[in-house]
């Protein structure tokens, strides 16, 4: 879509039905008159409405589509009205020879401006000055997140295959090979900066490539020289090195990898938490600026999604520490926190049914998912007294069901999560049960998502299934070559499914949601 600017015309407008054309005040700046065999309609400034008007509908404000629209142009009005209609904002459209005018009620103005700007339209006038953007520059956040996961899986697969099977090559040759990913990534980033500036796909893709290559080159060199550095300090070093690329390339993907790396490195057992907090603090201005500049709900949604991914780590970590205080298992406490977040979300839903996102629910899902993953390892089974936790979970599940009135709706994914938490507690956190529950919820979401073509459900389901498979990589005797190939296949699946659904949704004209 080319840059389209909308100008808000100062003043109130009214739409009215009149009987006599002679009463129209043509001295006004804006007068739109329509005559048919049945009626005479007038759109004008509110103060110029004829006193003899039969019917008057007032309190409108008007957007003018700037520039001259050729008669051959298609989809201009449908693009704008589609966005507004999807969000329950009704429109009244008037066309002239040169352009179109869109009228909406004053009460919807702020919301309409936000939605239109988020969709790439520039808005000026009425106190707004929001620049137009290429809509192609906005990457769907869900698509971006799962493209990152796909890339990471593919990257890990390549490293696993390469790094463990090149022992017959000399140190010098291995060192040269180790630098190839970094040099290639830098070349791609420079090409993007010089030739493809403004292309979100190139910007995100090349910066992600750069960040991964920083990890790759350091891992490979460490391996060539048998470096004894532990995994967590290694990840922290790489994240710190990759951090400037987030700001230089304005890359959400790079920022997301840095957040994930910081969480992993900082919250691993025995690692200082302040390191991860410092890295997150360094990334905070980046996300804040993006939300502030774009005023887009997608950006806000992305940040909240990231926060909901970050939160579980702190909750699980805090639960581990709390377990020694409360004499209960860390997994139990984390699970209870997860369900509590979902109940909280349901309670918020009671009062604010118009909430367009539910971060607490995401956080609740994430906490339960992480707890299930932790419990899915045979060595991590907590053998404590479950009576208290089971009672608390049961009470919260009942509360959740009471709030959301199960008799009046079909069971959904949230019910599965609450039930899974209950079941796991009832089955005394058995690792087999955790594996089965994770896989079952994953398959449910993939099934539900594929029926409705909703990326977020398919991806969430695939992520859970991948977690089950990946977790089993660690405690199985699978060879590294096989593990690498499996990682690459899983990553390719992620990317392929996302791309396929994304294209399908775009073709359908709704964009992937």
Partner 1 sequence: MKEKRVVLICAVYFVILLLLPVYSVFCHFDTLRTGEYYKIRVSPADPYDPFRGRYAAIRADISLYDHDNYYEYITLEKDAGGYAVNAVFHKEPPEGSVYAKKMEITRYYMNEKMAPKADEIQRTAVTEGDDVYAYVAVKSGRYVIQGLYVNDVPIEIILGGGGK
Instruction: Copy the structure tokens of residue 291.
Output: 């939300």
* CB nearer to partner 1: pick between 182 and 420: 182
Residue 96, CB half-sphere, CA atoms under 13 Å: how many?
A: 15
CB of 237 to partner 1, least distance (A): 9
Write the Ramachandran bin of 264: left for phi over 0, alpha for psi from -120 to 50, otherwise beta: alpha
CB of 178 to partner 1, least distance (A): 8
From the list 71, 110, 64, the residue with the least C-alpha distance to 87 is 110
* CB nearer to partner 1: pick between 112 and 224: 224
Residue 223, CB half-sphere, CA atoms under 13 Å: how many?
A: 21
Q: What b-and-e string marks burial along 414-430, b requiring 16 or more CB atoms within 10 Å of the CB?
A: bbbbbebbbbbbebebe
Instruction: Copy the structure tokens of residue 53.
Output: 């008007």
* CB nearer to partner 1: pick between 169 and 395: 169
d(CA 433, CA 423): 8
CB of 301 to partner 1, least distance (A): 28
* CB nearer to partner 1: pick between 167 and 383: 167
* CB nearer to partner 1: pick between 28 and 231: 231
d(CA 406, CA 412): 10
* CB nearer to partner 1: pick between 224 and 279: 224
CB of 181 to partner 1, least distance (A): 11
CB of 217 to partner 1, least distance (A): 5
* CB nearer to partner 1: pick between 101 and 209: 209
CB of 221 to partner 1, least distance (A): 6
Q: Rule CB under 8 A: which residues touch partner 1? A: 156, 159-160, 163-165, 167-171, 173-175, 178-179, 182-183, 186, 189-190, 193-194, 197, 214, 217-219, 221-223, 225-228, 231, 241, 244-245, 248, 473-474, 479-481
Instruction: Copy the structure tokens of residue 246.
Output: 């987030």
Tell me the backbone φ, ψ of residue 57, rounded to 5 degrees. -120, 110
Give the bridge partners for 123, in sequence order.
Answer: 6, 130
CB of 380 to partner 1, least distance (A): 16
In contact, 130 and 191? CB cutoff 8 Å: no
Write the Ramachandran bin of 377: left for phi over 0, alpha for psi from -120 to 50, otherwise beta: beta
CB of 285 to partner 1, least distance (A): 17
Q: Say which DSSP state 272 is in.
A: -
* CB nearer to partner 1: pick between 457 and 483: 483
d(CA 456, CA 505): 13
User: 3-class SS at 198?
Assistant: coil
Torsion sign across C-alpha atoms 328, 329, 332, 333: positive
Q: Say which DSSP state 25 is in.
A: -
CB of 163 to partner 1, least distance (A): 5
* CB nearer to partner 1: pick between 73 and 481: 481
Could you give the C-alpha distances from 469 to 3, 373, 466, 490, in angstroms and in order?
A: 45, 11, 5, 10
d(CA 384, CA 349): 34
* CB nearer to partner 1: pick between 45 and 238: 238
d(CA 253, CA 205): 8
User: 3-class SS at 257?
Assistant: helix
Instruction: Copy the structure tokens of residue 422.
Output: 């209950």
CB of 511 to partner 1, least distance (A): 29
* CB nearer to partner 1: pick between 238 and 305: 238
CB of 208 to partner 1, least distance (A): 15
């Amino acid at each position: 879509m080319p840059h389209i600017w909308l100008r808000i015309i100062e003043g109130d407008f009214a739409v009215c039905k009149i009987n006599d054309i002679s009463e129209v005040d043509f001295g006004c700046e804006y007068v739109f008159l329509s005559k048919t065999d049945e009626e005479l309609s007038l759109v004008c400034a509110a103060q110029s409405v004829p006193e003899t008007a039969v019917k008057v509908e007032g309190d409108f404000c008007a957007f003018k589509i700037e520039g001259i629209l050729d008669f051959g142009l298609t989809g201009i009005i449908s693009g704008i009205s589609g966005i507004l209609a999807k969000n329950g904002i009704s429109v009244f459209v008037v066309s002239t020879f040169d352009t179109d005018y869109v009228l909406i009620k004053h009460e919807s103005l702020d919301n309409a401006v936000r939605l239109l700007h988020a969709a790439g339209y520039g808005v000026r006038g009425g106190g707004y000055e929001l620049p137009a953007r290429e809509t192609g520059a906005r990457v769907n956040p869900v698509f971006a997140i799962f493209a990152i996961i796909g890339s990471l899986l593919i990257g890990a697969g390549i490293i696993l295959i390469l790094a463990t099977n090149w022992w017959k090559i000399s140190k010098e040759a291995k060192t040269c090979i180790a630098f190839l990913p970094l040099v290639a990534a830098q070349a791609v980033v420079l090409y993007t900066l010089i030739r493809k500036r403004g292309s979100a796909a190139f910007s995100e893709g090349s910066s992600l490539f750069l960040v991964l290559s920083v990890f790759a080159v350091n891992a490979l060199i460490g391996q060539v020289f048998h470096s004894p550095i532990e995994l967590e300090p290694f990840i922290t070093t790489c994240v710190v090195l990759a951090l400037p690329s987030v700001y230089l390339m304005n890359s959400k993907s790079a920022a997301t990898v840095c957040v994930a790396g910081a969480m992993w490195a900082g919250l691993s057992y025995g690692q200082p938490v302040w390191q991860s907090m410092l890295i997150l603090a360094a990334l905070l201005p980046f996300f804040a600026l993006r939300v502030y500049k774009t005023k887009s709900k997608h950006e806000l949604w992305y940040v909240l999604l990231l926060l909901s991914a970050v939160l579980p780590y702190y909750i699980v970590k805090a639960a581990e520490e709390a377990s020694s205080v409360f004499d209960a298992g860390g997994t139990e406490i984390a699970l209870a926190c997860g369900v509590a977040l979902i109940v909280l979300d349901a309670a918020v839903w009671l009062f604010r049914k118009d909430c367009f996102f539910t971060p607490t629910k995401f956080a609740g899902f994430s906490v339960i998912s992480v707890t299930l993953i932790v419990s899915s390892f045979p060595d991590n089974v907590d053998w404590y007294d479950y009576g208290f936790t089971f009672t608390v979970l049961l009470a919260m599940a009942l509360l959740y069901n009471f709030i959301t009135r199960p008799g009046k709706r079909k069971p959904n994914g949230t019910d599965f999560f609450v039930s899974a938490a209950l079941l796991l507690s009832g089955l005394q956190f058995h690792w087999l049960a955790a594996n089965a529950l994770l896989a079952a919820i994953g398959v449910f979401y993939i099934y539900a998502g594929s029926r409705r073509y909703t990326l977020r459900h398919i991806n969430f389901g695939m992520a859970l299934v991948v977690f089950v498979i990946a977790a089993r990589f660690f405690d199985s005797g699978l060879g590294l070559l096989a593990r690498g190939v499996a990682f690459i296949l899983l990553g390719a699946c992620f990317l392929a499914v996302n791309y396929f659904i994304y294209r399908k949704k775009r073709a359908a004209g709704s964009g992937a949601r």
